[in-house]
Every structure is written in structure tokens, then in C-alpha cells.
Structure 1
Amino acid sequence: MGTVGTSADDIADERRQLINVAYRLLGSVTEAEDAVQDAYARWYGLSRSRREEILSPGAWLTTVTSRICLDLLGSARARRERYVGAWLPEPLPDHTEWNHAGGADPTGPADPADQIVLDESVAMAFLVVLESMTPAERVAFVLHDVFRYPFAEIADVLDRSPTACKQLAASARRRVSVVRAPMTATGRADVVRHVKEAWEAKDIAALVGLLDPAAVMTADGGGMVGTVLRPIEGGAHIAQYMVAIADKAPGLELLERSVNGVPGLVAQRAGVVMTVASFDVSNGRVTRIWAVRNPEKLRPWAREGSRSGRAMPRGGQRSGPF
């Protein structure tokens, strides 16, 4: 895991890879950064002679980061039992949009969210499935299937045999196999745009037509903001809920944005992001909606307000906060 090198630059260069591994393991930018910082602290806590004995600092850092994540995953279940409402992974903005808009300071410290590679392994649908795995399954699957680390090295992380790690990854893979192949980016964007337009028009019939009859909407407020505590099931019920709340939060703008690398929606008021919504789309209809409202999970989106000039409201109408 990683490349050979012991210079300060070599060590620092590993950070991007470590953040990517940790986010996929934890589903949290904040926790991923903490895990990586902890791993670096342990590295620099070693004596110089001990560090010089390590042939591949990258491998050492990846192993330590993964073990830290494994411990965090073990304790996360207990923490989430006390969590108010549903727990969802932290949504990620598209860092290329920040760069093009001038929202990010290229000379400042790198934002952890900016370093995460946006591919299918960070799509909300994928991350939600990862949440259903045991900690060991998740580590084995992410390290092997996503990052292509050999089971012999994963065995060192999990303190199990390579054969046992292979079995864990196979078990996790069966869970992932139920995730449908995503639509093309254009097809998904069209559906999300139509949902936005129908919501702004408060057109229940149009929303029902865009939502799968068995669609499910899950919201995460973390007990910090008001939202539904249990998933809403059924396209008709979701459409009615969306229209019912549209009048309860005047002044919100509904924006089309990339969320975890795929088209999504962002609701903001006075330049402050209030909600980030991800969608799973199949056969031209929305099957799942994940709406994150917990302010602590929206920190990577804080710069969205500086780009409010790119908002795309239609007819001056406002939408609800999910």
C-alpha cells in the first residue's frame, strides 16, 4: 500500500490517497480528516530510527488509517443508535465547480472534500449500501474492490488471514450487487431537472409521474433542524409532502448541483445552504431521495453561497427545505 519514500514531501503526498480511503470507509469528511490526522500524528510520534526502518511510509500510513477507521466503524453503530432520525453519509460538492467559480482559494490549505475523487464509489446510493456492511466487510471490500489492495496487505489491517479477508469482500460484494447500474449523467440530470421544475410549480401530478411508485425519501437532520424522522415511502406520499412543505420556507432557492459526482439539488436561503439532496434514478424515475439537512454535514458546502449568482430559479418561485 503506497510508495517507497521517507521525505516530508513523500509523506505529505500520501494525504490525498488517505483521505479518499477514509471517506469511503467512514462516509464522513470530518471523521476521515480526523482519522488521517491521527495516522500522521502516530507516524511523527515514531522515533526517527523507527521511521527509517519502514520501507513504505505510504503502506504504513494506509494500514494505520484503515485500522483507525475500523475502530471508528465499530463504535459508530452505538453512536448512530442514539442519533436523532436517519443517519446519512456527508454529501460532497464537485470541487471542479469551486475552482471554475473562483470559490476556492488555490493558495490556501486544501479542503479535505476537494481531495476526494468523485466516482461511482462515492455515489450516495453506493455509500448507503456500504453502511449496511459489517466494519470488517466494509474495510475488506473498499480496500480491495475500490483501491485494489491485495488481500495479503488487507489481512494486516484486519488481523485476519488473506482467505478470511477474501470471504469478507465476497460477502460485501453480494450486497453491492443489488445496486442498479446508474443512468447516464445526461439522463439523470434531465430527471432531476424535471423534479426541480415540478416542485417549483407545486405540480403534484408531475411529481408523481417522476417518482417511482415505491420510491423512498430519507432525510437527515441530526436533531439539529426540523425534518421527517422516518423515511417517507411511496411516490404519491413523497410528492404530497414536497408540495406541502413548499410554502413553509419562503425565500429558498432550489439549485441544480453535482452531489457526490452525480446530479442533485441544493436548497439555500440568503446564500446559506440548508439542504443537499441526492437521487437514485432508474428507468427514468426517481427511486430514492436522500436529503441531508444536518448543518454539521454541510460544511463542505459553505462556499455555495458565494456562487448564488449561478442559481437557476424559474418564475421566481421558491421551494421548501426538504
Structure 2
Amino acid sequence: MAFVSDKEANEENELILSLPKEMGLFAAPYLNLFQDFWCPSLYVQGVINFQKHFDAKDNDVFVASFPKSGTTWLKALAFVIVNHHRFSSFDHHPLLSSNPHQLVSGLEFFLSHDLPDQILSLSNMSEPRVLATHVPLPSLPESITKSNCKIIYICRNPFDTFVSTWEFFTKVSSRALTFEEAFEKYCNGITVFGPWWSHMLGYWKESIDRPNKVLFLKYEDLKEDTVFHVKRIAEFLDSPITREGVSNTVIENIIKLCRFETMKDLEVNKSGYINNIIEKKHFFRKGEIGDWINYFSPSMIEKLSKIIEEKLGDSGLSFKVHSEIPLQHATS
């Protein structure tokens, strides 16, 4: 049975062609403004397929993130925690032989082609399924928002997010913008799955309204107190790890397995491609907090600080650039 009729396909193509577009920072030539966010043109169809054809299950676990905010790390942690009953041996774990992006698929990418086969593949996955998305919360399929599945969201301070994004795209694209050009687009929200502020705020507000549905994490917090936040993730997912009163040794072993340095040094992450597009090695750069200070001019710091204050304002969502200094005081 066909998932999409010829009429529906034509209507979707016409919709995509009608969308506003801007030059992007990636190898794909454009970003399309779709449902109030900037989606890579290659994946608008994948988002549509995701919305129309994905059927969430109550025990699904979603890793949601703004790009370049710790996605790879959170995918690894979530996969290990959810599948601890299946892969309790850390010496022969799938994470040692597969990249986290191969173990936890981003659905807007996964469903952008071969739709019937991919839907069948999803339906045959072992449960609970661990899946991922960069799609903003308002554009998630209703089957996700209305089911009992859980979402773990991660974001990063906007300064480091921009630097990581720019460094990533300059490596994977032959047509990347200069740092200054990319910064202007970023400040205007024109970046993959942006605006970054609305992306963060959507999941932030949902985590406050529905704390049993969405767990909101900041990369900096996860980095600074990994044990505490990995326990939070396990408790949020009602993992047997916490129910069985497992010792801290298990948590520490999970953290060690998923450490940036551990994954970066694995042979499986040094060569090969994800989706036949991006080399695996490009997903592991520095993983540091505060590296942005080596890139930004004083005027850039002032401009982005003002945008953060304006956009996040009284939401209660704030970030630290280093130590205990709030982001909005970065210029002081």
C-alpha cells in the first residue's frame, strides 16, 4: 500500500517549492522557512513524512536537541541507559562498534527517503525504541505529543553553540560562510532548525508544564556534574538502574563508556560516514565549555548577549559562559 498518493506528493512538492528560503551554512544550498523554523531544504520532505507517518509508542524515548549542543553525547547516554538490560556488558557494547548516530536515528533524516521501508524498519525495532529529532516542539508529530513517550532535550549556551556549528559546517561543506557572515545569520535566527531561541524556549516551557514528559538539560550542567545528571536521566526514564538501587559503579561505567574522549578514540568513529554524507570524525571536535572566547570580538559578545537577554528575557532560561558568571553579564 502506498503511503502517499500522487496527488498528495504533488501538493507536498508545490508546498516545498513555495517556502521562503535563505542561503544556509551547509552543503545543502538553502534553508526553507517551514512552520516557523529554518529547515534544511533536503529534509523538509523528511519532516513532513515524520509528521504524517510516524506512530509513536508509549515507551519510546526521544533525544531532542538543537544541533551542535551535545546531541552525540546524549544519544550515547540515552541508548546505554535504555538498553542496559540488553547490553549490560560494557566490554562488548554496541557503542564500541557503532557511532551513536547509527544507534539512534534522527527521524527527519531517516524518513526523508524510502518511506515504506523505513516505517517498516521502525516498527520492527526492539522496544523501548530510542529515537532522535532536531525538530522544534510545535512541529513534532501529534503521536509524540499526545502519547506517553518521553523526551530528553539538550541545548548549549548560544556562544559555544554557534562556534561548534560554524566549525562543523566549515569541515563538511565546501561552501561555508565566513565566521562574520555566519554570525549575522545566527543572530537573525537563520540557522539549521532555528531560530535557536524559539527552539530552546519551546522545549523549556514544555518541561515546566509537563515535567514527566520532557526532561530539559543544558550541556554545561551535564559536563560539570555528569554523575548527577545521568542519574536524573535514568530516574526520568524510570530505568531499572535506579529501581534496583544499582551502585554508583554502574553509573560511572556508563559515563566512562560515553565519554567524549572514549568515543573520539574509537576506530569506528575515526572513519566512515553517517547517512553517506557526513564523516563520523566531524561529530567529535573539542567538547569544551567556553571555547567561544577564542573566536568572538568584543562587539560580537555584546551583540549576542543583548539578543539572548531580549529573546530569553523573563523565561527563567539562562546560561553560564564559565564558572558562575551568567551569560547576560558576559560583557561586564
TM-score, normalised via structure 2 length: 0.24
Higher Rg? 1
RCO higher in 1 or 2 (8 Å CA, sep ≥ 6)?
2
TM-score, normalised via structure 1 length: 0.24
